[in-house]
């Protein structure tokens, strides 16, 4: 049973370009969460999605960031017109249910570097 798959593992973008980060949840998991980790810091929640629905985007910056989880295919975190401050590790996690006693299973992350 494959874990949460994220790609690419590393992504380099110049300022002003777009970054697309992909996440395939574990099989059977319909709840996807995106987190951002700045260097030497903890993980900060960005957005929570179920299939075709954004449930909680309280951690998403208001501009340039968007996320989707289509009926078919992976979840996508999209950052438009990247700036140096977007450089971070972006983690995707999935869960099979809303049970608050279940852990989230994390992917290995995408390290975004903006030059």
Nearer residue to another protein within complex by CB, 64 or 111: 111
The answer to whether residues 67 and 78 touch, using CB atoms and an 8 Å cutoff, is yes
Measured from the CB atom, is 43 or 76 closer to another protein?
A: 43
In Å, how far are 1, 43, 74, 99, 101 from 77, measured between CA atoms? 24, 16, 10, 24, 26
Q: Considering beta carbons, is residue 20 or 111 the nearer one to another protein?
A: 111
Q: How far is the CB of 100 from another protein (least distance, A)?
A: 4
Residues that bind another protein (CB under 8 A): 31, 33, 35, 41-45, 48, 55-56, 58, 89, 91, 93, 95, 98-106, 108-109, 111
Are residues 91 and 41 in contact, defined by beta-carbon separation less than 8 angstroms?
A: no
């Amino acid at each position: 049973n494959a874990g949460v798959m994220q790609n690419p593992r590393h992504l380099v973008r110049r300022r002003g370009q777009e970054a697309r980060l992909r996440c395939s949840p574990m099989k059977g998991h319909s709840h996807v969460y995106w987190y951002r980790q700045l260097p030497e810091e903890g993980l900060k929640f960005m957005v929570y999605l179920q299939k075709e629905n954004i449930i909680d985007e309280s951690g998403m910056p208001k501009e340039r960031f968007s996320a989707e989880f289509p009926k078919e295919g992976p979840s996508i975190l999209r950052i438009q017109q990247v700036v140096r401050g977007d450089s971070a590790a972006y983690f995707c996690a999935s869960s099979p249910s809303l049970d608050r006693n279940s852990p989230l299973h994390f992917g290995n992350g995408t390290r975004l570097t903006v030059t």
